[in-house]
Amino acid sequence: MNDEIVELQTRLAFQEDTILELSDALARQQAEIRDLTDKLQLVQRQVRDLMQINTGAPPSGAEPPPPHY
């Protein structure tokens, strides 16, 4: 009976370690996804601005030219 308890405690300890490792991995992946999402949004804005420049439209967020132009 004592050996069974020790075995269960050992399994529990390994499971707790595995859960912590998985939790850490998930947290790292979530942070990386947030970072990649931010970078993708930046690239999308840059592409949109470049397309507007190529078509002659003012880039987003830019002030329109004064009326005398």
> How far is residue 50's CA from residue 59's CA, in Å, rounded to a whole number?
7
Determine phi and psi for 29, rounding to 5 degrees: -65, -40
Residue 60 DSSP code: T
* pLDDT-wise least confident of 10-14, 43-47, 62-66: 62-66
**Phi and psi of 59, rounded to 5°?**
-65, 155
The predicted pLDDT at position 56 comes to 74
pTM, two decimals, is 0.63
Q: Which residues contact 53 (CB under 8 A, 6 or more apart)?
A: 59
Q: Average per-residue pLDDT in the chain?
A: 90
Distance of CA 54 to the CA centre of its chain: 31
22-51: per-residue pLDDT in tens?
999 999 999 999 999 999 999 999 999 999
